[in-house]
Structure 1
Amino acid sequence: MTVAAGEQAPDFTLRDQNNEEFTLSAYRGKQAVLIIFYPLAFTGICTGELCSVRDDLHTFQNDAVQVVSVSVDSVYSHKIFSEREGYQFPLLADFWPHGAVAQLYGVFNEDAGFANRGTFLVDRTGVVRFAELNGPGEGRDAQTWRDAIAAL
């Protein structure tokens, strides 16, 4: 089951493209966190969605909110991906155990071996305030994320 709005967000710790740990619960009481699960780095729709965040970063990452993206790619793939595309936000590696965080959030695609397109806005208390799930090949509209952030 996918984590729904109104539920407590499952806590996790993953490493970003700089091999630094990111722990969701470290943001409690400080900032909301927008979590963007995507299937794979270097693919068309995924790149386009993350470039939308990059191009309007001040909306998604500021004093009130932190944005992170999550895929099953390795830290090393994320490093190259972030450098190539100029991403200035954490790209988290749900590499091993393979897709464990995506499974916690109910967005892991068992047949394909990667995360579906799940997006979760977690407020400062750790409660999910916005949740969406799209399958592979179904792009998301970043405006819905802006609207969810504005509604916090």
Structure 2
Amino acid sequence: MNATAAAGVLPAGAPVPDVELVDQHGQRLRWSELWEGQHALLVFYPFAFSPTCTRELDELAEDLAAFDAAAVQVAGVSCDPVPALRAFSDARGYPLPLLSDFWPHGAAARAVGVFDGGRGVARRGSLLVDPAGHVRWSALQEDRAGRPAGLHRAALEALPAP
């Protein structure tokens, strides 16, 4: 599903705000560091340890070699606090940064249009950001069933040919 402005998520071509978050190891990280000299895939999800989010991140981690080969840095983003993300990452062995949007609560998710204010969580939004900090591809999965397997592979198709 390609995101639209009506859905609230940033559309292709829009600049992505350069926010600073903390990863699962307590390190501060600016989004622009993710896409410096490469593309970055920001994958927002509601809850660490929930069955659907775990399945989605497991699939992404299993497919990470394809993103590495295309020089795409992948990062997960949720409103969970850092200790929860550290436990989640350690338990699942995720080889990608998990970024905490805990405080100010949901500010990064709000900035890209994927915050669910009623539930206080990030919606299942994904953005491929180019090295200049603009959205190249975006998707939003509204239902709670989760993103279809292989959805993020579509982001790779949005990359320019080598």
Smaller-chain TM-score range?
Answer: over 0.9
Shift of 1:29: 4.5
Residue type at the aligned position of 1:66? Q
Shift of 1:125: 1.4
Aligned counterparts of 1:83 and 1:8: Cα–Cα separation in 2: 33
1:34 equivalent in structure 2: 41
Paired positions, count:
152
- Structure 1: unaligned runs, 5 residues or longer: none
Deviating 4+ runs (over 2 angstroms) = 26-29, 60-63
Deviations along 1:107-147, one digit per CA (max 9) or x if unpaired, are 10010010110000001111101111122513112423112
What TM-score comes out, normalization by structure 2 length? 0.88
Deviations along 1:29-62, one digit per CA (max 9) or x if unpaired, are 5110000000010001100000001112112335
Deviations along 1:63-85, one digit per CA (max 9) or x if unpaired, are 61100000000110000000111
Alignment CA distance shift 1:136-1:16 (3 Å):
farther
1:55 equivalent to 2:55? Answer no
Identical pairs, percent: 43
Residue type at the aligned position of 2:72? V
- Stretch of structure 1 that moved more, 114-123 or 62-71: 62-71
- The one of 95, 103, 114 aligned to 2:110: 103
C-alpha contact 1:15 1:93 (8 A) present in aligned 2: yes
Aligned counterparts of 1:146 and 1:70: Cα–Cα separation in 2: 18
Task: Summarize the alignment of residues 1-150 of structure 1 with structure 2, pairs less than 5 Å apart.
Answer: 1-62=8-69, 64-150=71-157
What is the root-mean-square deviation in Å for CA atoms of aligned residues? 1.5
C-alpha contact 1:39 1:136 (8 A) present in aligned 2: no
- Structure 2: unaligned runs, 5 residues or longer: 1-7
Aligned counterparts of 1:129 and 1:26: Cα–Cα separation in 2: 17
C-alpha contact 1:34 1:120 (8 A) present in aligned 2: yes
